[in-house]
Amino acid sequence: MPVPSTPARPDGLPEHIRHWIGGAFADSAGGAVFDVLDPVSNTRYATAAAGGAADVDKAVEAARAAFPAWAALGNRERATILNRIADAVEAREDRLAAFESFDSGLPITQARGQARRAAENFRYFADVIVALGEEAFRVGDQQINYVVRTPAGVAGLITPWNTPFMLESWKLAPAIASGCTLVLKPAEWTPLSANLWPEIFTEAGVPAGVVNIVHGIGEEAGQALVDHPDVPLLSFTGSTDTGRHIMRCSADGLKELSMELGGKSPVVVFADADLDAALDSVIFGVFSLNGERCTAGSRVLVERPVYEEFTRRLAERAEKVKVGPPSDPATEVGALVHPEHYARVMGYVEIGQREAKLIAGGGRPDHLPEGNYLQPAVFGDVPRDARIFQEEIFGPVVAVAAFDDEAEAIELANATRYGLAAYVWTGNLKRGHRIAHAVRSGMVWINSHNVRDLRTPFGGVKDSGLGREGGAHSIDFFSETKIVHVMLGEVHTPRFGA
């Protein structure tokens, strides 16, 4: 029975989303706006201010004005404010989940955890800045050298459209904790939940100008932020192509960059693995969040003795994944975020059918005649040079291939330009460690899906980005370090010209 395409509208939806600059809402200097669509009906539910260079200038000016006082605040005082932010986020859990699900198409059950994870980011970095020490180096009784960490200045944060609120918190929390002021440019496809930040920061007592939000199209608002001479560091999460463009634009200003880019992460399944656990992990890892996740295990490499069995079971499960309206608690895969992205993912499904064998899904479910819906797709016997094996799809699509031995597993795992995450399933932990060290990726999980420890570095190698965030690595990125050398003994300086 067809499901109506009218989405469940949450209470309190704004008709217009505005910038937040210097502690006040503002429209764009030129009055420009853009339409914001919901992914179920693909119709406009709001407009948003479309920022440009003048709006970014105003936001940077506000951040610069707020910087001296915020940077001078003690770590304990900043930590207190971060914990108040966490309290305010948690108090809005239901509203946030409803907004995030409506705007991004995420199933409501998966959106519900976003507030708790976002709050945890702020609490964690509140703890980090209170506990984080600085280094000192003594040279006998003659000299002591100590490191001073100071806020780097105005930070530019450019965030993606998948789980937008939580991913914004990943950058906001350490930037604020470090003493930076900032300008956030949220993704234009999903600006709704970012509209909650102003009331959260106001309630928590964040001074005006510490956080500024400029909405808009990446090529305009994002470009203006990248180009601004008074923004010395940029943290970006998004596509590899956009990351390259930002690097080129940042070269003249020698800007500090942290970039978490694309991924095509392998899941290596050996015959001695717990196949039930591996199957659950594969399905969750590539189909949760609608498959729109950078660390998705979208290439599944299975040892040949269990390849047929594992692939068959994977296909059977994929056919049973419940695709439905994001607001339905029973939904496991909702609507893809935007019609442009939906067309892109469907294009890869078409390409895949020319390159490999489609063994499950790949079409629109019969009961969902409208909206950005796709039954999760499983392709088998995928050759290594296939585009669906090599290119990031960012949707509920998985490519499966067989390998014969450990050497081939490593070779196939490394056979893409990406290197963000990897997953290894084996009953032999010695082999698990060997594979983990041999695979070129920033992160590896052995016998586990993506379980994140906030203390650990997050990031990739090759075309998956540069730099690391997470734990003290984030504080280091948003800080400048200075070494101070103090002579304690007699100074013995060669007397040139004496």
Q: Which residues does the annotation mark as catalytic?
A: 260
List b or e across 402-411, with b for residues whose CB sees 16 or more CB atoms inside 10 angstroms.
bbeebeebbe
> Could you tell me if 58 and 43 are in contact, meaning their C-beta atoms sit under 8 angstroms apart?
no
For residues 343 and 371, what is the distance between their CA atoms, to the nearest angstrom? 11
- Looking at 299-428, list the stretches that DSSP marks H as alpha helix, in order from N- to C-terminal side: 304-320, 339-355, 387-390, 406-413
The answer for residues whose C-beta is within 8 angstroms of residue 494's C-beta and 6 or more apart is none
Nearest to residue 263, comparing CAs of 443, 110, 436, 105?
Answer: 443
Tokens of 283: 């399905």
The residue whose two tokens read 């992990």 is 281
Tokens of 261: 């880019």
**Could you give the 3-state DSSP secondary structure of residue 194?**
helix
Sign, CA dihedral 456-457-461-465, equals positive
> Could you tell me if 116 and 344 are in contact, meaning their C-beta atoms sit under 8 angstroms apart?
no
Report phi then psi at 474, rounded to 5.
Answer: -65, -45
Rg of the chain in Å (alpha carbons): 24
For residues 422 and 445, what is the distance between their CA atoms, to the nearest angstrom? 6
Nearest to residue 260, comparing CAs of 413, 461, 453, 445?
Answer: 461
Nearest to residue 316, comparing CAs of 283, 360, 355?
Answer: 360
- Looking at 45-135, list the stretches that DSSP marks H as alpha helix, in order from N- to C-terminal side: 53-72, 75-91, 93-104, 108-111, 114-131
Dihedral angle over CA of 57, 62, 66, 68, nearest 10: 30
Cα(first)–Cα(last) distance of the chain, in Å? 97
> Could you tell me if 196 and 92 are in contact, meaning their C-beta atoms sit under 8 angstroms apart?
yes
The answer for residues whose C-beta is within 8 angstroms of residue 200's C-beta and 6 or more apart is 85, 88, 89, 92
